[in-house]
């Protein structure tokens, strides 16, 4: 399979948005997607971008049955470990079903690792659903450690009302 992996441009945001929804359908949570391609354009292509993204592109002659040439993406940003320093967090890794098994997922993941290493990152981390054994196996096969199993971490979140409540309780300056 002939494919190219390259940094996303602002013009790719519609295609990325489509694949974000496809991934959300895959993880059975399509109702959770509230982001628009305009927000992606704003947040990823501003002076201090909130994220970076790589896309996998196939030539016209290999386009998907629906006519798409963007067939996968890796969406990531930088975090910081107080123990280890610079880190990359992989938010999404996705390859369209009809293009899987051709090395595209591996190519995207390795490319994120390469980009991170160039910026002296020492970790590449991600979260994956417990039931998503194909992806857990994919990461394990590449040498990733499952921290929930080995260290018992929980994934914690404040949003909506809990986030509002917390912010409202902040001491006044």
Ligand X SMILES: CC(C)(COP(=O)(O)OP(=O)(O)OC[C@H]1O[C@@H](n2cnc3c(N)ncnc32)[C@H](O)[C@@H]1OP(=O)(O)O)[C@@H](O)C(=O)NCCC(=O)NCCS
* Residues forming the site for ligand X (CB under 6 A): 23, 26, 92-95, 100-106, 128, 132, 134-135, 137-138, 141
Active-site residue flag, 73:
no
CA 74 – CA 8 distance, rounded (Å): 10
Instruction: Indicate the residue among 45 and 138 with the shorter CB distance to ligand X.
Output: 138
CB of residue 171 to ligand X, shortest distance in Å: 37
In sequence order, what DSSP letters do the residues of 66-120 get, joined into one string?
Answer: TS-SEEEEEEEEEEEETTTEEEEEEEEEEE-GGGTTSSHHHHHHHHHHHHHHHTT
Coil, strand or helix: which one is 31?
helix
CA 122 – CA 47 distance, rounded (Å): 25
CB of residue 118 to ligand X, shortest distance in Å: 21
CB of residue 94 to ligand X, shortest distance in Å: 4
Instruction: Indicate the residue among 103 and 144 with the shorter CB distance to ligand X.
Output: 103
Residues with a known catalytic role: 139
């Amino acid at each position: 399979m002939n494919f190219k992996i390259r940094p996303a441009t602002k013009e790719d945001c519609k295609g990325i948005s489509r694949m974000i929804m496809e991934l959300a359908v895959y993880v059975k949570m399509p109702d959770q997607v509230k982001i628009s391609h305009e927000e992606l354009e704003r947040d990823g292509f501003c002076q201090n971008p909130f994220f970076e993204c790589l896309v996998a592109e196939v030539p016209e002659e290999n386009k998907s049955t629906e006519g798409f040439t963007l067939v996968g993406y890796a969406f990531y940003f930088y975090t910081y470990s107080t123990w280890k320093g610079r880190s990359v967090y992989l938010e999404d890794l996705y390859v369209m079903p009809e293009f899987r098994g051709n090395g595209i997922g591996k190519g995207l993941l390795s490319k994120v690792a390469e980009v991170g290493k160039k910026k002296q990152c020492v970790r590449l981390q991600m979260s994956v659903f417990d039931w998503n054994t194909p992806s857990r196996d994919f990461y394990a096969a590449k040498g990733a450690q499952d921290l929930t199993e080995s260290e018992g971490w929980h994934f914690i979140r404040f949003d909506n009302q809990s986030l509002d409540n917390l912010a409202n309780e902040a001491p006044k300056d």
